[in-house]
C-alpha cells in the first residue's frame, strides 16, 4: 500500500518569523497524520528552511529548487551540499512557475534530479500542461515528454526517491480545478510512463495532483486509485486549512 502525501508549496510567501510560527504549530498535525499513514510537509523559501526544520518534528521540509553544481559562480543559487547541511533532503524540481519564469527546461530538471538522487535526496518532480496545451488535447504528449526527459538515465532503485506531481498549469492558483477524472486519468498515465521506463517500481511511485486543492476537495482527489497525495499552494499557507486538509484525509 502506498502512503499518502500532503505537501505544501509556500512559494515566495512567509517571512522567517511567520514560517517559524507555522512550524511550531505542526506537531499535533504531524502526529495525527502519521497515525493515519499520511506524510505531511511544506516547502518554505530557502531563507526559512532552517527555521521550519528546527521548529518541527516529523514534518517533511522541502526546498523549492536547487542548483545542480555544488558551488561556483551562480549568483542567487543554492546547492545541494548547502541544503544537506541544514538537514534538508527533499527538493521540488520543475515547478511550472520555475518553468515559466526561470527557464527551467526538462533537460535542466534532469541534471538536477540526477544530482539529487546521487545524493540520496528525495525529488518531487512537477509536470503538467499549459491551458493552451490542454485545449489542444496535448496533455499526455506534454507530460510524457516531461517525464521521459526529466527522469532519463536513472535506475529503478533511484525511482524509490522520486515523487511525481501532476499539476495542470491552468489550475495552479486559479481556483479552476481539474476534475477528479482528469486527475486520475493523467496520474495513472504518469504511472504507466514510469513503468515503461523503470518497470515495477512504478507501483510504489507516489503520484500527486496539484492545482487549487483545498480542504473541500482534497478527499475527492485522493479517493482516486492513482492519486497518492496533493501538492498544495494557497491552501497550505494557513495552519487551519493545512490541518483541515489532513483531517479530510483521515
Ligand atoms: C502549487 O503551487 O503547486 C499549487 C498547486 O498551487 P495552488 O494550490 O495554489 O493552486
CATH of the domain at 110: 3.20.20.70
Residue 173 alpha carbon to ligand 1 centre in Å? 5
- Predicted TM-score (pTM) of this structure: 0.97
Give the distance from CA 248 to its chain's centroid: 19
Is residue 78 within 8 A of residue 86, CB to CB? The reply is no
Does residue 159 have its Cβ closer than 6 Å to ligand 1? no
Question: Quick one: pLDDT at residue 174?
Answer: 87
Identify which of 232, 235, 238 to mutate to test ligand 1's pocket (most ligand atoms within 8 A of the CB): 232
Tally the residues of the chain: 250
Does residue 190 have its Cβ closer than 6 Å to ligand 1? no
The protein residue with its alpha carbon nearest to ligand 1, atom 4, reads: 233
Total domains in the chain come to 1
Alpha helices in 80-198 (DSSP H): 80-85, 96-101, 106-118, 131-135, 139-150, 180-198
Segment (H or E) for 6: strand 4-9
Question: Quick one: pLDDT at residue 176?
Answer: 86
Question: Quick one: pLDDT at residue 16?
Answer: 98
Question: Quick one: pLDDT at residue 129?
Answer: 97
Question: Quick one: pLDDT at residue 143?
Answer: 98
Question: Quick one: pLDDT at residue 207?
Answer: 98
Question: Quick one: pLDDT at residue 175?
Answer: 83
* Enclosing domain of residue 103: 4-249
Residues belonging to the active site: 95, 167
What CA–CA distance (Å, rounded) separates 108 from 93?
10
Residue 231 alpha carbon to ligand 1 centre in Å? 7
Does residue 215 have its Cβ closer than 6 Å to ligand 1? no
Identify which of 6, 9, 127 to mutate to test ligand 1's pocket (most ligand atoms within 8 A of the CB): 9
Does residue 232 have its Cβ closer than 6 Å to ligand 1? yes
DSSP 79: B
Question: Quick one: pLDDT at residue 193?
Answer: 98
Is residue 103 within 8 A of residue 48, CB to CB? The reply is no
User: 57 is written with which cell numbers?
Assistant: 518534528
Minimum-distance ligand 1 atom for the alpha carbon of 165: 3
Does residue 230 have its Cβ closer than 6 Å to ligand 1? no
Show the low-confidence residues of the chain (pLDDT under 50): none
Amino acid at each position: 500500500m502506498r502512503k499518502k502525501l500532503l505537501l505544501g508549496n509556500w512559494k515566495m510567501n512567509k517571512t522567517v518569523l511567520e514560517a517559524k510560527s507555522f512550524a511550531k504549530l505542526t506537531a499535533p498535525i504531524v502526529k495525527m497524520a502519521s497515525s493515519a499513514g499520511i506524510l505531511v510537509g511544506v516547502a518554505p523559501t530557502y531563507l526559512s528552511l532552517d527555521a521550519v526544520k528546527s521548529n518541527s518534528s516529523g514534518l517533511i521540509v522541502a526546498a523549492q529548487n536547487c542548483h545542480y553544481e555544488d558551488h561556483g559562480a551562480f549568483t542567487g543559487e543554492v546547492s545541494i551540499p548547502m541544503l544537506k547541511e541544514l538537514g534538508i533532503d527533499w527538493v521540488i524540481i520543475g515547478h511550472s512557475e520555475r518553468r515559466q519564469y526561470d527557464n527551467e527546461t526538462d533537460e535542466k530538471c534532469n541534471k538536477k534530479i540526477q544530482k539529487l538522487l546521487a545524493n540520496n535526496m528525495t525529488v518531487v518532480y512537477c509536470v503538467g500542461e499549459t491551458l493552451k496545451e490542454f485545449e489542444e488535447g496535448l496533455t499526455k504528449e506534454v507530460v510524457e515528454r516531461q517525464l521521459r526527459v526529466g527522469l532519463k538515465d536513472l535506475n529503478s532503485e533511484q525511482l524509490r526517491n522520486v515523487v511525481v506531481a501532476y499539476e495542470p498549469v491552468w489550475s495552479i492558483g486559479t481556483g479552476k480545478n481539474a476534475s477528479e477524472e482528469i486527475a486520475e486519468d493523467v496520474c495513472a498515465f504518469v504511472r504507466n510512463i514510469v513503468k515503461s521506463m523503470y518497470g515495477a517500481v512504478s507501483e510504489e511511485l507516489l503520484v500527486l495532483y496539484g492545482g487549487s486543492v483545498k480542504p473541500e476537495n482534497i478527499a475527492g482527489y485522493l479517493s482516486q486509485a492513482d492519486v497518492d497525495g496533493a501538492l498544495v499552494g494557497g491552501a497550505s499557507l494557513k495552519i487551519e486549512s493545512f490541518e483541515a486538509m489532513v483531517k479530510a484525509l483521515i
